[in-house]
A and B are shown apart, each in its own frame.
Chain A
Amino acid sequence: MQIAPPDFDRVFGALADATRRDIVRRAVDGEEGVAELASHYPMSFAAVQKHVAILERAGLVTKERIGRRKIVRTNPEGLRVARRLLDRYEELWRGRIDRMSALVADPPDRKETHK
């Protein structure tokens, strides 16, 4: 486990799929519903619906009802979270290294048994 905040894990997982990334890109304009999106891919409506649901849970897209249609729209804030992935990963490891340094420095008065 690299990244602690659960939302962040979801974003990373959601983007680790080519179809879902393509949906995110198409949904920037927010003109298509799930049915229209599904027409772009060689897979069932249900499969595309599932991808959209994963993206929705990750906060990368939102669904908005317009009349009788549900439009899928990319959520810019979700993408911003995604962009910070590597910076956060680096931060995480820097934090770990700092804690490791503190442990090896381990002043005698704070020494604990490690058994």
Chain B
Amino acid sequence: MTVTAVRKDADNLTMTLDAEFDASPERVWQLWADPRQLERWWGPPTYPATVTSHDLRSGGRVDYHMTGPEGDQPRGYWEILEADAPRRLVFRDGFAHADGTPNSDMPRTEARVTIAEIADGRARMTIQSIFPDAAAMEQLVGMGMEEGLKQAVGQIDAILTGDAVTRA
């Protein structure tokens, strides 16, 4: 496994994942900067991604869709906030309507990618995901990051079994 750490932070509503690669930062950056390579890892095998436009610069935008097993094609886009090759990429990842316009009813996450050389030919990539809508979600359903989630399971189970009816 190249994933070396995963941190879920309830206070800051982030999930941070560290991964190490036997490759230079430049090579790892290419995974993001080359749309054909991006297509080969962004979507899960059952939902391969097709990148239809790709402008990886601050203020730029990436448009893509995925193709599901039933032929469904959910669309998404990235809004690039920062791009500093080969070290740093910050973008918002959102859902789009069929015509490509952002679907504001769906949550957006912000991803902050940092790539650093840790040894010759070895790079560490850190991806921090920030969930803007999870704050509200966590308040009630109690779904937050790892701990919040475990609590939530207990809380919801309690509510469902009628042990703790916490209606307002």
Contact residues of A with B, CB < 8 Å? 1-2, 4, 6, 9, 12-13, 15-18, 21-22, 24-26, 28-29, 74, 76, 79, 82-83, 85-87, 89-90, 92-101, 103-105, 114-115
Contact = CB atoms under 8 A, between A and B. Distances in A.
A14 to B, nearest CB: 10
B114 interface: no
Interface of B: 1-3, 6, 8, 15, 17, 19, 21-23, 27-28, 30-31, 34, 36-37, 40-44, 46-47, 64, 66, 68, 72, 74-76, 93-95, 105-107, 109, 127, 129, 133, 136-137, 139-141, 143-146, 149, 152-153, 156, 159-160, 165-168
Contacts of B166: 25
Given A86-B145, A97-B17, A114 B137 contact: no
Contact of B140 (A18, A85, A87): A18
Contact of B141 (A1, A24, A96, A100): A24
A4 B64 CA distance: 13
Contacts of B8: 86, 90
B149 to A, nearest CB: 6
A26 B19 CA distance: 42
Contacts of A76: 160
B77 to A, nearest CB: 9
Nearest to A90: B6
Given A76-B160, A83-B153, A104-B22, A96 B41 contact: yes
A-B CB proximity, top 7 nearest: A1-B76, A99-B41, A104-B23, A16-B133, A4-B47, A21-B140, A97-B19
Contacts of B2: 97-98, 100-101
